């Protein structure tokens, strides 16, 4: 799944190169930090709700609240980077260097 999303992000970034968008794969920065690794950099399935942005039983998307979880619904934190993962993302972006930051006055 990670490779699918990476391919989609890369394709989008490549379509915007004339606007100065650059792409750097975070895959190398995530080595050893996948869902089953210790420490994991990506959350697995997270039960919610944990905040206003999560799904709730009275939402239109109640199919994301399963009977076997009781009062829990799927959290939007599922399959998203946690603190370790956002650090890995930042490392990938920082390797692009200062040239990756497009100044509006250029």
- Host H or E run for residue 47: strand 47-48
Q: Is 2 or 19 the better-scoring residue by pLDDT?
A: 19
Q: Is 75 or 82 the better-scoring residue by pLDDT?
A: 82
Per-residue pLDDT band at 105 (split at 50, 70, 90): very low
For 4-26, give one letter per residue: b (16+ CB within 10 A) or e: eeeeeeeeeeeeeeeeeeebbeb
Instruction: Tell me the C-alpha to C-alpha distance, in Å, between residue 48 and each of 31, 63, 64, 81.
Output: 28, 13, 10, 16
pLDDT at 63: 64
pLDDT at 102: 46
Task: Report yes or no on whether pTM surpasses 0.75.
Answer: no
- The rounded distance, in Å, linking the Cα atoms of 76 and 55 is 8
Mean pLDDT score of the chain, rounded to an integer?
A: 76
- The rounded distance, in Å, linking the Cα atoms of 45 and 54 is 13
Six-digit token string for 33 = 């930090």
Give yes or no for residue 76 having a pLDDT over 70: yes
Q: Is 60 or 78 the better-scoring residue by pLDDT?
A: 78
């Amino acid at each position: 799944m990670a490779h699918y999303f990476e391919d989609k992000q890369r394709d989008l970034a490549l379509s915007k190169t004339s606007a100065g968008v650059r792409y750097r794969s975070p895959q190398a920065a995530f080595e050893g930090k996948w869902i089953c690794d210790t420490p994991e950099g990506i959350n697995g399935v997270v039960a919610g709700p944990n905040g206003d942005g999560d799904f709730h039983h009275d939402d239109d998307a109640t199919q994301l609240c399963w009977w076997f979880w009781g009062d829990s619904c799927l959290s939007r934190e599922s399959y998203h980077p946690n603190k370790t993962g956002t650090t890995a993302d930042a490392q990938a972006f920082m390797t692009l260097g200062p040239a990756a930051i497009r100044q509006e006055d250029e």
